[in-house]
Amino acid sequence: MIDPTQIRRLAEPREPLTLERMRRDIAAMLHEDPSEIGEGDSLLDLGLDSMRAMNLVLGWSEGGLDLEFSEFAEDPTLAGWWAIVARQQARLG
């Protein structure tokens, strides 16, 4: 049985969000190899659905970034998403 208190501790330390981490997270969600995720590929065609996309955005927000799912929804490609994240990171300085 999983002890719920264990999970939080594991989740807390976060690496900064990078293009490559986003690629890895997307690949894991789709059960693909990261090399399969091209920056311009439509993630919808790769099998991403809204609930999974939302979960990714939710996960990436945990590091303190102010990410809005609706912006991600407009252009579901890795390049498009990285642009949103990079813009937010720049904002936070």
Judged by CB under 8 A, does residue 8 bind another protein?
yes
Taking the complex as a whole, the smallest distance from the CB of residue 51 to another protein amounts, in Å, to 5
Judged by CB under 8 A, does residue 37 bind another protein?
no
Judged by CB under 8 A, does residue 35 bind another protein?
no
Write the DSSP string, 28-87: HHTT--GGG--TTS-TTTTT--HHHHHHHHHHHHTTS----HHHHHHS-SHHHHHHHHHH
Judged by CB under 8 A, does residue 70 bind another protein?
yes
Judged by CB under 8 A, does residue 4 bind another protein?
yes
